[in-house]
Structures are given as C-alpha cells and as structure tokens.
Amino acid sequence: MSEPGDNDSAQDKQARHKARMEQRKKIVDEGVARALTERGVVLLYTGDGKGKTTAAVGTVTRALGYGYSAFVAQFIKGAWDCGEKNLLQGLPADRYRLEWQQMGTDFTWETQDFEADKAAAEALWVKARAALADPDTYLVVLDELTYALNYRWLDRDEVVAAIEERPEAQTVIITGRGAKQYLRDLADTVTEMRPLKHAFEAGIAARRGIEW
C-alpha cells in the first residue's frame, strides 16, 4: 500500500526534512536561551519499573568523570552487593572522590525489628546529612530513600529541610518506589519508571551484573 508522500522526489523529501530540522533546532535553541539559572537540582526516580538505581548510579559516573565528588547512601536492609559499587570503589581515590555507604543491618532482614532498622537508617542519615551540608560534595544519591521515609525510619521534615538547605551547587538524586507527593514537590525533575513487562514475572531469575 502506498503512503502519502511516497511519490515525492528525493529533493522534496530532503526539503521537508530540512524544514523540520530547522524548526526543531529553533525550539531547542529557544529552550537553551531560557535556561539561565545555574544551580544544583533535585532528581526523583520513582515508580515500579526497573532502572531507578541504575539511573542514579549512572549519574554518579557522569559526575566522577568530570572530577566532581559524589556520596551514595543506600537505605536498604542488609549488605547489598552491586556491581557498580564494586567497580566504583575500586577507582583510584586520588582521582575519583566517592563515598558509598549502606545501612549496616545484615541481621534485621531476618528479625524484622523496627527499632533496629530505624537505628540503622538514622545512622546512615547522619552521614547523608553531613554530605548534604558539604559544599564540596557535588552529587548526593539517596538510594531507596522512599522506603526509609514511608516506613517512618526517618523524620520527613528533617530530610526535606536538609535537602532544601543544601549548598546551591549540589545535586541530589532520590530513588525508590512509592514517592509521596511532598517528594515530587521537592524535586525539580521527576521520572516515573513504569513497568510494561519484567522478565521476573515470566519466571526468569534476577541476573548478577544485570539486576544488581
């Protein structure tokens, strides 16, 4: 079946393509001209789809690649192995400034002890709060922070205030499912990962180096 434009000459197609590209360039240029504010931002990656932590850690590599310093706090229970951590922590410390901290509660996964989880989250939060107050830290990742807030391990107002009062040039990335409205309001950029399909549902096991 023929489509409209099928019989156009190559010249016509080229002319239309050029016009479309010029229009697009104009829109992009206008957007760039309007974006005059220079400051760090808050990014929120939420939703049930895969890719939130991967996107956050990918941004850490971007920052480190320009010589900026980054701090990662993972609000997850138990020591969580992940390939990116293995790689990034092996980088020469004199060139790449990275601190990667996790909640130290190997045992609470088994015991489901609320007070122990809360204490572990609070201990990690003290380190994260110090990074959020440090003008030399360019990027702070608060991975799975939504759980720590939704489980009420951390005080929501204190967390929001520390993020709002951070140094102007610092960027913060928050990840985790189920981000509440106040986090969406706090963030400058919000991306919701929406699962269309996940291999796990078809009985395929999570793969090392791919899922973690």
Binding site for ligand ATP (CB under 6 A): 48-54, 175, 177, 193, 195, 198, 200, 206, 211-212
Name which of ligand ATP, Mg ion, none residue 200 binds, using a CB cut-off of 5 to 8 Å depending on partner kind.
ligand ATP
Report the partner that residue 51 touches, choosing among ligand ATP, Mg ion, none (CB closer than 5 to 8 A by kind): ligand ATP
Beta strand ranges found along the chain (DSSP E) = 42-46, 69-74, 98-102, 137-143, 171-175, 189-192
Residues 1-60 that bind Mg ion (CB under 5 A): 52-53
Residues in Cβ contact with 37 at an 8 Å cutoff, skipping those fewer than 6 apart? none
Which option in ligand ATP, Mg ion, none does residue 48 bind, with CB closer than 5 to 8 A by kind? ligand ATP
Residue number, 54 or 150, with CB nearest to ligand ATP: 54
Give the shortest CB-36-to-Mg ion separation in angstroms: 34
Contact between 132 and 98 under an 8 Å Cβ cutoff? The reply is no
- Identify what 113 binds: Mg ion, ligand ATP, none; CB under 5 to 8 Å per kind: none
Q: Is 77 in the site for Mg ion (CB under 5 A)?
A: no
Q: In this structure, which amino acid lies at residue 180?
A: K
**Any residues with CB less than 8 A from the CB of 142 and at least 6 apart, and which?**
73, 75, 128, 172, 173, 174, 175
Distance CA 149, CA 4 (A): 54
Token pair 């929406």 is found at 194
Query: In the complex with ligand ATP, which residue's Cβ is closer, 53 or 171?
Result: 53
**Residue 172: strand pairing partners:** 42, 140
Q: Are strands 171-175 and 189-192 parallel, antiparallel or unpaired?
A: unpaired
Shortest spacing between CB 53 and Mg ion, in angstroms: 3
Q: How far apart are CA 88 and CA 90, in angstroms?
A: 5
Number of residues in contact with Mg ion under rule CB under 5 A: 2
Shortest distance (Å) from residue 52 CB to Mg ion = 5
Is residue 137 involved in binding Mg ion (CB under 5 A)?
no
User: 193: which 2 tokens?
Assistant: 């990962």
The nearest distance, CB 146 to Mg ion, in angstroms, is 10
193 binding partner (options ligand ATP, Mg ion, none; Cβ < 5 to 8 Å by kind): ligand ATP
Would you tell me which residues interact with Mg ion (CB under 5 A)?
A: 52-53
